[in-house]
Structure 1
């Protein structure tokens, strides 16, 4: 598997993509994924709310979660770390440091965001997983990982507050600020 993983990283580095697209390794191979304005705006608004709601923490995005498991390193859209844990020269974050991860749904990622990624994040012991569905204007918060599955699920429409437990505090996100496609 290491050879395949190295090859994928080589290909991703060698291909020059427009900023409006990303290349993803999926079960179907390499997939070119368009980046919508709703996705970009929602990720930006989540990051802004993280930094406003968690003093001393820094919003993170565009990173890989390590160590790889079954050849897979998730790349969540957002999370947060205490400022002293940020490593400016790194693009990977150890799973044990992440209090939560956020995925913003796109047409291409919808199935994985709801069916595959929860198991991956729960098996890593990440305390909370937030799915922000800009297609349906809904959010789903999964918490309490145990035995590779999240034990608690809360879901609602954009407009409601989302409360995510983070260390010894609660991050409150205002989902009315999220953009729908």
Structure 2
């Protein structure tokens, strides 16, 4: 960890941020990001569907993916782990444990969710990356990471089912349950 990376973590820990916002490290520095009701509701509905669709697994959110790469630890909105891998006292999850990650698009995060994060998640070898765009009422599923890029892309409007490969199963999400801005 460089001095700058350590400093950013200290600042993030020291700043009080209201629950209606998130503090994010972007290429432009630290950014205070408002959290919309559509974002919160959609992330919650995804978590509920994960737990209903993957018995023996738990939905996770509000965590950092480690190890840091290029000083960056992404914080996806949702994922899932088998119950035996859940560490209640931890707020970080090793990238090798994640079968998929979900990002719910906010006005501020749109560019990163579509342009920067796919590269970060593919380089980490995370098998699937789902982008849920509450602004456009669409979803995009990226799978098969290879050489730092996802090789397969599927997309559709809210209302269509999304099938995400998870270990030896398929998680089916009902995107008609997602909320649009």
TM bin, normalised by shorter chain, reads over 0.9
Q: Which residue of 1 aligns with 2:153?
A: 153
Q: Which residue of 2 aligns with 1:93?
A: 93
Structure 1 residue 5 displacement after superposition: 1.4
TM-score (norm 2): 0.98
Q: 1:176 aligns to what SS in structure 2?
A: helix
Measured in 2, the distance between the counterparts of 1:67 and 1:28 equals 21
Number of matched pairs: 181
Measured in 1, the distance between the counterparts of 2:124 and 2:10 equals 26
Measured in 2, the distance between the counterparts of 1:154 and 1:135 equals 18
Q: Which residue of 2 aligns with 1:112?
A: 112
Measured in 2, the distance between the counterparts of 1:9 and 1:95 equals 19
Structure 1 residue 70 displacement after superposition: 1.0
Measured in 2, the distance between the counterparts of 1:120 and 1:18 equals 27
Structure 1 residue 38 displacement after superposition: 0.2
Measured in 1, the distance between the counterparts of 2:6 and 2:140 equals 34
Q: Please, what is the CA RMSD of the aligned residues?
A: 0.7
Q: Which residue of 2 aligns with 1:11?
A: 11
Q: Which residue of 2 aligns with 1:38?
A: 38
Measured in 1, the distance between the counterparts of 2:17 and 2:114 equals 27
Measured in 2, the distance between the counterparts of 1:119 and 1:9 equals 22
Q: Which residue of 1 aligns with 2:60?
A: 60
Structure 1 residue 49 displacement after superposition: 0.2
Structure 1 residue 10 displacement after superposition: 1.2
Measured in 2, the distance between the counterparts of 1:78 and 1:42 equals 10
Measured in 2, the distance between the counterparts of 1:75 and 1:2 equals 20
Structure 1 residue 102 displacement after superposition: 0.2
TM-score (norm 1): 0.98
Deviations 1:78-101 (Å, cap 9, x if unpaired)? 000000000001111111100000
